[in-house]
Amino acid sequence: MKICAIICEYNPFHNGHKYLIERARELSGCDAVLCIMSASFTQRGEATVLGKFERAVHAVRGGTDCVIQLPAAFSVAPAEIFARGAISILSRIPAVTCLAFGCENANSDDIWRACDIITSGGDESPLRRSITDKMKGGESYKRSLADALGALGADGTLVSSPNGILALEYARAIKASGADIEILPVQRMGAGYGDGELKENFSSASAIRANLENAKVAGNVPDYVFDAIKKVNFNGVNDRADALLRYALCSAEKSDITRIFGCTEGLENKLKNCIELPAEEIIAEATSKRYTSSRIRRILTANMLGIYSDDVNRHIAEGTYIKPLAVREEIKDEIFAELSRSSLPVIIKKMSLKALSPSGAARYAMPESAAHKCYQTDMKADFVRALIYGEQPQYDYTVKIVK
């Protein structure tokens, strides 16, 4: 079997996601499409609108064959770690031969060209020298990088959009891991990532989230997704999230906050000095040209969940696990057979959890495995999201079989 993978969040699943799955299946010629999806929290540091099992079922109903979980340690992280974490799992599944993703530039040669320039030459490369010179002249890092790539014959616009940045990070992660995975960029349809305007049928996920009570949302998502959204009780969600974020910040040691990806240059002091403010005001106070609001929110969420850079790097290096969330019934035996060929443990029943810890670890006080520590963080993330939405988390060894 040959599998085409998609790295996603599906918060919520919409028409653009369905289109990408269809195109991935068509263009790749693979036997199955597998999605690795953020579970309870996203890269922006937000709790997902719907739970992970429900969103996974939506994806299978929308055309994919299986959805596995992207651990919170990777999903609540900068683009580089988001990509590296996902590839660290996908690269250990032998059947995964390509990775499809939406991008404004769907030319794989352009993506590899920019990737090669970024990853070669070190600090003394023409790229680095050009970036340094432009930043000394007052340009932002992103603008300097785009201009430098353009001057070296690459498409500098790739770093001007979140989709382009992720495309480059996927390529970099594949190259660094030595994985035998092709990239399959697909021309993005409709609204761009982060476009807040609600369209007729191809709106961004952020526009949909911002307009959940607008009837036009129904034209942008499958019926089953719209029905699920209508059942969510959003009363008190923001207040509960605010309380949890602020309590975690109040309780955290500054030395631990500095262990979070992206928290540099004394930002921990700024955050701790704002603990009496509502979370949204903390984010506004800490946002600057150097620190975007998404980055601040992600740092606050990582602090709440106990996600630290040294642990995450260990998870990537040592490996984690494969947690299927939903699978198409007619192909489940073939999919599970391919997943079982991975070097990572597959969590499909309660007994599977034993594979996450070294034998006798608790009895002999052995160091906790990277996989077990990563799993505990996922359990915490699921529990915190359930608290925010006033729900009960499901058993994590559940796998939804979709007919």
- pLDDT tens by residue, 226-266: 999 999 999 999 999 999 999 999 999 999 999 999 999 99
d(CA 313, CA 315): 5
pLDDT at 120: 87
39-51 mean pLDDT = 97
pLDDT at 364: 45
pLDDT digits (tens, 9 = 90+) for 158-176: 998 899 999 999 999 999 9
Q: Please give the share of the chain, as a percent, with pLDDT higher than 90.
A: 80
Phi (first) and psi of residue 150, to 5 degrees: -60, -40
Where are the chain's structural domains?
1-104+161-233+310-403, 237-309
Contacts 24+ apart (CB under 8 A), 346-355: 346/321, 346/322, 347/321, 347/322, 347/323, 347/375, 347/396, 347/397, 348/324, 348/397, 348/399, 349/397, 350/395, 350/397, 352/397, 353/397, 355/321
pLDDT at 398: 87
Beta strand 182-187 with 32-38 is unpaired
384-393 mean pLDDT = 95
Predicted TM-score of the model (pTM)? 0.94
Q: Are 203 and 11 in contact (CB under 8 A)?
A: no
Query: Where does the pLDDT of residue 64 fall: very low under 50, low under 70, confident under 90, or very high at 90 and above?
Result: very high
11-26 mean pLDDT = 96
101, 102, 107, 112 alpha-carbon torsion, rounded to 10°: -50
Query: Where does the pLDDT of residue 363 fall: very low under 50, low under 70, confident under 90, or very high at 90 and above?
Result: very low
pLDDT at 122: 72
pLDDT at 358: 63
Which of these CATH numbers, 3.40.50.620, 3.40.630.10, 3.40.50.10490, 3.40.50.300, describes 1-104+161-233+310-403?
Answer: 3.40.50.620
pLDDT digits (tens, 9 = 90+) for 194-235: 566 888 888 889 899 999 888 899 999 999 999 999 999 999
Q: CB atoms < 10 A from the CB of 136, how many?
A: 9
Is the pLDDT confidence value at 108 over 90?
yes
74-93 mean pLDDT = 98
The closest of 355, 379, 383, 389 to 369, measured between CA atoms, is: 355
Is the pLDDT confidence value at 361 over 50?
no
Q: Which tokens in the block code for residue 380?
A: 């915490």
Is the pLDDT confidence value at 360 over 80?
no
